[in-house]
Structure 1
Amino acid sequence: MDAFFVLLFMPFIFVMFSQCYYRKRKHSNGEAPELPPGPKPWPLVGCLPTMLTTNLPTYQWIHAVMKQFNAEIACIRLGSIYIIPVASPQLALEFLKTYDSIFASRSSISNTVDTLSHRYLTAAFSPLGKQWRKMRRILASEILNSSTLHRMLGHRNAEADTLLRYIFSQTSNRDGAVVNLRSITQHYCGNIIRRMLFNKRYYGKGREDGGPTFEEEEHNQALLTILKHVNAFSTSDFMPWLKPFDLDGHQKIMKNALNVVQKYDEPIIDERVQRWKDGKMEGVKEDILNILISLKDENAKPLLSVAEIKAQITELQIATIDNPSNAVEWAMAELLNQPKILEKAIEELDKVVGRERLVQEYDIPNLKYLTACIRESFRLHPFSPFNVPHVSNTDIIVAGYFIPKGSEVLLSRISLGRNPRIWEDPMRFNPERHLNDRTVELGLLEPNLRFMSFSRGRRGCPGSSLGTNITMMLFARLLQGFSWSFVPGITKIDFSEADELSLPKPLHLHAQPRLSHIMYPRLVHHDA
């Protein structure tokens, strides 16, 4: 079954369920403010027919609607749900700062989110309520707090060292070698969170040079598939009577990808839980899994069920792998296209760190130009088109527009970062802009929502410090450890075939060691 089924039976649905919707809804105060501008919806199904028949990806269609109405906020009804895309930083702050408590809930209509989160058990996807408060508190106070992150610094340092050793093993001959930067960055991010979660980076035997094996490649690709399809605009989500049918196939894709992740992770979790029950944890190093299992409630009972632990661990992995790897891959592509920017970044590294030691996390606050490069990559090249939906828990008027209860507010990562009212020459990669306005002092945070890095408010990412360290260390180690150039026959990386979100092909670059060779063999073999 597919979207054609919906279109075929639409006339019969209209006859049975037809009802009227208006561009105005009466608010409880007696006023009748208008909804934000948008296309006129059909009875019952809203704008689903247009969404299903467009030749554009759904996120591009939504942006085309906003352009059509020349609006920085719009209203698109899908079924009975109001979708409110937002492209203005000022309006975004209205939703996530001024009225943060009203828009702090999450959608509970998505089949894919339901599947991923084990029926909304996790911090990112739980609707506002007791479950969300519990999981958020655990992440903030037990997992992503400064003390725990400091104790796990060794895991991150080990992976940063292995990153250099792996690339060096491929490039140590006099002429260097071509490497797949996308594979390297994704592998790095996946390995860091695996080390922190499970105190291991390989699911199988592994490789002496630190490179990925089939197991890690399959696991990473499954996580990225999950990210691509979570909160997808599925027809079944917006038509309640079609819930049993996976018309778009998204739920099947999600389940298959989640099965891959669980195939590797759940045996580790189940075995560890059993060891805790049997009192056989002597000599086991601390990791996030141990912390989650060890938490107790007021009755000295386990605070988290095994299902909650498994769901939250999967969520931590999908939250870690995408943004850092995507931001660094795009930044490297942009720097190679603009050699003067690359030269400035290298000069800063040599000045702040030098070539006699390796860059460390404590250097990050002093690497202003590198930080500006990554801020610019986040601004111009977001991994996903929208943030996770913020759902209103009551009717409210925002910026003079009526926002009905249950509306899903989507902040457009693409449009915020490329808003020409905010950014001069928005399509140009220009790190200097973040130095000139001194926002680089904020690191990768952007509290004014001129672009999206870690969001803000009650549902803002509690892992901003970890995300910053992973991203900046990956970027800095790549630039410090190797000289980068185009592959033979290429003089510029062509973005013309890229959509707004990703390079059309994995980025391949020529790498050559730029430090004394003695720096690389000194690295200790840390693989678990």
Structure 2
Amino acid sequence: MESDSDVGTIGPSSVVVTLSLVALWFAWLYYKRSDSNARLPPGPRGLPLVGNLLSLDPELHSYFAGLAHTYGPIYKLRLGTKLAVVITSPSLARQVLKDHDVIFANHDVPAAGLAATYGGSDIAWTPYGPEWRMLRKVCVLQMLSKTTLDSVHDLRRKQVLRTVGFFYGRVGSPVNVGERTFLNTLNVVTNMLWGGTVREEAAGLGREFREVISKITELLAKPNVSDFYPGLARFDLQGVVKQMEVIVKRFDAIFEKVIDQRLKMEKEEGSKDFVSFLLRLKDKGDSKTVLTMTHIKALFMDMITGGTDTSSNTIEFAMSEVLNKPEVLEKIHQELEAVVGKDSIVEESHIHKLPYLYAVMKETLRLHPVLPLLIPHCSSETCTVGGYTIPKGSRVFVNVWAIHRDPSSWENPLEFDPTRFLESKWDYSGSDFKYFPFGSGRRICAGIAMAERMVMHSLATLLHSFDWKLPQGEKLDISEKFGMVLKKKIPLVAIPTPRLSDPALYE
């Protein structure tokens, strides 16, 4: 089957190519001339027109970390006509994300990101300003507040119990843990979004979402000519935007269906899900910057794409690291038995009484941060970082993956050791730039509280309800695959065995 991006169907004419090359040459000369008047960071030499594009390694997080050993904790790369700056130290990360937070408050929006979020109407890509502040307030202070998350507790609990039942039905057989935790987090998110308001016919939508979310993530991370040469974006030479628009249409039809069904049920009182909450908030109209239906659908897209892969991958990495360390697993079991007991299932009320398991989650996010390079920032004006000039419009990568593995900050940095987070100052606030897995500053992740509940509850439940072992002859592999969201290169496949005393607890 031919791809949507087949060059034969979307390739530009020779005239367009010629004009584009001429334009790119002049752009290159302009950038080279502007560089001569500024003290830019050091960096590898690039080729005319393409800069350093041809030398990039697909595993960008480790590749960038390697370049830092040669060029230092701040260096530049030419990616087409775009200047990229890579930050690889806590002190420089502080300058970007705290000292100059307002200047770097915007994200560098890829063409695929705009297409995925209704022109950038979501919290991730909207430029810093009144509209972004309104969306941030809706997410952090209202939609993802403790009160709202508590109100949809039952929806999360039911889905976790269904997942336990799934694994119980496959006791003694190898199960793709990552695949199932992905489906679990997807169902938890969609249940919180609209699980209490739509009819049963909508329950099967999770399967459709699962097919396309990985494609969205893939397109967001795919190197795209439109991002390296903005002047060529209108031509969408690789068809990335076209492919994303096809996917978004599928999501949009689902969103429209869910919203329409909820509006038809408007007389029903006490609906406890996010779509009900957002529609009520929209109708209030008490904000100077109005929440629109487009904003609501863009926030849905954020929740589904940003709340599924991220949490499920963290759970899979944590499970893998724990199974690789029997002494860590033993400590987890001892803590769970003391707090929960083998005659009970884990509840969300237990998770704040599990400091060692919290340390496991934090150590997992240290070694395997969800977004290894965060979401690239963009300078809104020229400024100085680390004594170097960062021109306006530069793309700025903060390599949190490398910072979390810096031997000058962490003892035995490649060792999985949860005890380093026991009785320590480390948290998710982004205030210490040696450890900030969810980012920092104005653009810190809006979903930390939800991610913490989902990962902790799911991880505690899986490790308390079952013993896990690898299939005979299999070896555990914890290697990573780079993407906008970090993933395990080889999925975790393990065999569950019941641990609880009463089989009825699995029903």
Q: TM-score range by the shorter chain?
A: 0.7 to 0.9
**Alignment partners' CA distance in 1, 2:289 and 2:56:** 50
Q: 8 Å contact 1:91–1:399 — kept in the other structure?
A: yes
Q: 8 Å contact 1:378–1:451 — kept in the other structure?
A: no
Cα drift, residue 516 of structure 1: 1.6
Q: Find the counterpart in structure 1 of residue 136 from structure 2.
A: 136
Q: Secondary structure at 1:376's aligned position in 2?
A: helix
Deviates further, 325-334 or 233-242: 233-242
Q: Find the counterpart in structure 2 of residue 293 from structure 1.
A: 279
Q: 8 Å contact 1:178–1:508 — kept in the other structure?
A: yes
Q: 8 Å contact 1:84–1:409 — kept in the other structure?
A: yes
Structure 2 residue identity aligned to 1:513: P
CA-atom RMSD in angstroms: 3.2
Larger helix proportion of the pair: 2
**Structure-1-length-normalised TM-score:** 0.84
**Alignment partners' CA distance in 1, 2:493 and 2:59:** 29
Q: Find the counterpart in structure 2 of residue 411 from structure 1.
A: 398
Q: Find the counterpart in structure 2 of residue 29 from structure 1.
A: none
Give yes or no for the alignment of 1:455 onto 2:442: no
List aligned pairs for 1:154-303, cutoff 5 A.
154-171=154-171, 176-199=172-195, 215-230=205-220, 232-273=222-263, 275=264, 280-283=266-269, 285-295=271-281, 296=283, 298=285, 303=290
Deviations 1:118-172 (A, max 9, x none): 111111210112221221121122201121111111112222222222212222x
Give yes or no for the alignment of 1:475 onto 2:459: yes
Select 1:348's aligned residue among 335, 341, 345: 335
**Alignment partners' CA distance in 2, 1:479 and 1:224:** 26
Structure 2 residue identity aligned to 1:19: L
Q: Secondary structure at 1:170's aligned position in 2?
A: coil
**Alignment partners' CA distance in 2, 1:38 and 1:23:** 17
**Alignment partners' CA distance in 2, 1:122 and 1:63:** 29
Give yes or no for the alignment of 1:494 onto 2:490: no
Cα drift, residue 446 of structure 1: 4.9
**Alignment partners' CA distance in 1, 2:455 and 2:364:** 11
Q: Secondary structure at 1:467's aligned position in 2?
A: helix
**Alignment partners' CA distance in 1, 2:186 and 2:111:** 26
Deviations 1:419-461 (A, max 9, x none): 23222332222212222x7146x3x555323344321211112
Give yes or no for the alignment of 1:515 onto 2:500: yes
Q: 8 Å contact 1:74–1:86 — kept in the other structure?
A: yes
Select 1:329's aligned residue among 301, 313, 316: 316
**Alignment partners' CA distance in 2, 1:146 and 1:479:** 25
Deviations 1:236-283 (A, max 9, x none): 12313311233344324433433443343331123324x27xxx4325
**Alignment partners' CA distance in 2, 1:154 and 1:122:** 27
**Alignment partners' CA distance in 2, 1:448 and 1:228:** 31
Q: Find the counterpart in structure 2 of residue 430 from structure 1.
A: 417
Cα drift, residue 226 of structure 1: 1.6
Residues 518 and 17 of structure 1: CA distance in aligned 2, closer, same or farther (over 3 Å): closer
List aligned pairs for 1:72-87, cutoff 5 A.
72-87=73-88
Q: Secondary structure at 1:230's aligned position in 2?
A: helix
Residues 394 and 496 of structure 1: CA distance in aligned 2, closer, same or farther (over 3 Å): closer
**Alignment partners' CA distance in 2, 1:466 and 1:226:** 22
Deviations 1:465-489 (A, max 9, x none): 1110001011000000001111122
Q: 8 Å contact 1:485–1:510 — kept in the other structure?
A: yes
Residues 384 and 267 of structure 1: CA distance in aligned 2, closer, same or farther (over 3 Å): same
Cα drift, residue 379 of structure 1: 1.5
**Alignment partners' CA distance in 2, 1:301 and 1:70:** 47
Deviates further, 79-88 or 189-198: 79-88
Residues 485 and 345 of structure 1: CA distance in aligned 2, closer, same or farther (over 3 Å): same
Structure 2 residue identity aligned to 1:91: L
Cα drift, residue 64 of structure 1: 6.4
Q: Secondary structure at 2:442's aligned position in 1?
A: coil
**Alignment partners' CA distance in 1, 2:134 and 2:349:** 32
Q: Find the counterpart in structure 1 of residue 4 from structure 2.
A: none
Give yes or no for the alignment of 1:34 onto 2:39: yes
Deviations 1:273-299 (A, max 9, x none): 4x27xxx43256221101111123557
Residues 398 and 178 of structure 1: CA distance in aligned 2, closer, same or farther (over 3 Å): same
Q: Secondary structure at 2:443's aligned position in 1?
A: coil
**Alignment partners' CA distance in 1, 2:397 and 2:473:** 42
Cα drift, residue 66 of structure 1: 2.3
Cα drift, residue 498 of structure 1: 5.8
**Alignment partners' CA distance in 1, 2:251 and 2:393:** 32
Cα drift, residue 354 of structure 1: 1.6
Residues 256 and 430 of structure 1: CA distance in aligned 2, closer, same or farther (over 3 Å): farther
Q: Find the counterpart in structure 1 of residue 326 from structure 2.
A: 339
**Alignment partners' CA distance in 1, 2:473 and 2:202:** 34
List aligned pairs for 1:365-376, cutoff 5 A.
365-376=352-363
Provide the identity percentage: 29
**Alignment partners' CA distance in 1, 2:471 and 2:202:** 29
Residues 349 and 169 of structure 1: CA distance in aligned 2, closer, same or farther (over 3 Å): same
Q: Secondary structure at 2:98's aligned position in 1?
A: helix
Cα drift, residue 392 of structure 1: 1.6
**Alignment partners' CA distance in 2, 1:299 and 1:335:** 48
Q: 8 Å contact 2:61–2:402 — kept in the other structure?
A: no
Select 1:387's aligned residue among 367, 374, 388: 374
5+ unaligned residues in a row in structure 2: which ranges?
1-6
**Alignment partners' CA distance in 2, 1:285 and 1:201:** 6
5+ unaligned residues in a row in structure 1: which ranges?
27-31, 208-212, 524-528
Kindly tell me the number of residue pairs found equivalent between the two proteins. 494
Cα drift, residue 70 of structure 1: 3.4
**Alignment partners' CA distance in 1, 2:226 and 2:140:** 34
Structure 2 residue identity aligned to 1:142: Q
Q: Find the counterpart in structure 2 of residue 484 from structure 1.
A: 468
Q: 8 Å contact 2:103–2:379 — kept in the other structure?
A: yes
Cα drift, residue 326 of structure 1: 0.6
Deviates further, 245-254 or 151-160: 245-254
Q: Secondary structure at 1:244's aligned position in 2?
A: helix
Give yes or no for the alignment of 1:21 onto 2:4: no
Deviations 1:287-327 (A, max 9, x none): 11011111235579994322221111111111211221111
Q: Find the counterpart in structure 1 of residue 299 from structure 2.
A: 312
**Alignment partners' CA distance in 1, 2:197 and 2:369:** 27
Cα drift, residue 182 of structure 1: 0.9
**Structure-2-length-normalised TM-score:** 0.87
Residues 235 and 64 of structure 1: CA distance in aligned 2, closer, same or farther (over 3 Å): farther
Q: 8 Å contact 1:164–1:520 — kept in the other structure?
A: no
Q: 8 Å contact 1:89–1:450 — kept in the other structure?
A: yes
